[in-house]
Amino acid sequence: ADLEGDMLSLSAGLSTVLSSDQASEMQQALTQMRDAAKDAKTATPPSLAGSSPQSPAMQGWRDAFDQLIAKVNQAEQQVKLGKLAEAKQTAQQIAALRNQNHRKYR
């Protein structure tokens, strides 16, 4: 998907993780979020158009998605252990990461 499509997938997945009480549904949403984050990591946002892949700005872009993926993995482990409330707290940290990065790149 293009970056906008990846962002819409992240958004739908995050809403599901925050609102669901079913482990299987949360797991599926987290998988969708990880796939979207991996794809978005390879994109260049309009705000960095023309930046070289090795520029500090593009490295920061990719690091942000690695942080997002690490949080998705953490939430997934929590779901697997049946710790759904903890997984939702991790999802809140993902929302904070989103807000920080939107201020930088959007």
CA distance 52 to 38: 19
Q: Which is nearer to ligand HEM, 23 or 67 (CB)?
A: 67
Q: Which is nearer to ligand HEM, 41 or 83 (CB)?
A: 41
N-terminal to C-terminal alpha carbon distance within the chain: 18
Tokens of 10: 């992240």
User: CB–CB of 13/46 below 8 Å?
Assistant: no
Binding mask 50-69 for ligand HEM (x = CB under 6 A): -----------x--xx--x-
Query: How many other CB atoms sit within 10 Å of the CB of residue 92?
Result: 13
Q: According to the binding rule CB under 6 A, does residue 74 interact with ligand HEM?
A: no
> Using CB atoms within 10 A of its CB, is residue 68 exposed (0-12), middle (13-18) or buried (19+)?
buried
Q: According to the binding rule CB under 6 A, does residue 83 interact with ligand HEM?
A: no
Q: According to the binding rule CB under 6 A, does residue 29 interact with ligand HEM?
A: no
Which residues would be at the binding site for ligand HEM (CB under 6 A)? 3-4, 7-8, 10-11, 14, 45-47, 61, 64-65, 68, 94, 97-98, 101-102, 105-106
